[in-house]
C-alpha cells in the first residue's frame, strides 16, 4: 500500500508518483503538491490567510495583543 503524503503548504493529499520533495540544508523534508504551493512558500505567505488552502481560517487570524 503506497504512503500518501500531505502538502506542507496547502494540506492537500499528494498521490504517489506526483508532487515535489524539497529537502532543506538542515535535513527537514517538505512535500509540495504543485509549483503554486512552492512559490507561495518561497514568498513566505501564510497558508492560513489564503482561501484555497485547507489550513485557511475563516474568521481571520487574531493577533494576540499585550
| Per-domain residue ranges of the chain | 5-49
pLDDT at 21 over 80: yes
Average pLDDT over residues 46-52: 93
Distance separating alpha carbons of residues 3 and 20, to the nearest angstrom: 15
pTM (2 decimals)?
0.82
pLDDT band for position 61 (cuts 50, 70, 90): confident
CATH pick for 5-49 out of 3.40.605.10, 2.30.170.20, 3.40.50.150, 3.40.50.2000: 2.30.170.20
Amino acid at each position: 500500500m503506497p504512503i500518501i503524503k500531505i502538502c506542507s503548504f496547502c494540506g492537500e493529499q499528494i498521490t504517489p508518483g506526483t508532487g515535489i520533495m524539497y529537502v532543506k540544508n538542515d535535513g527537514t523534508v517538505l512535500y509540495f503538491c504543485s509549483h503554486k504551493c512552492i512559490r507561495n512558500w518561497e514568498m513566505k505567505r501564510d497558508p492560513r490567510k489564503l482561501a484555497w488552502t485547507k489550513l485557511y481560517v475563516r474568521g481571520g487570524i487574531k493577533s494576540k495583543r499585550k
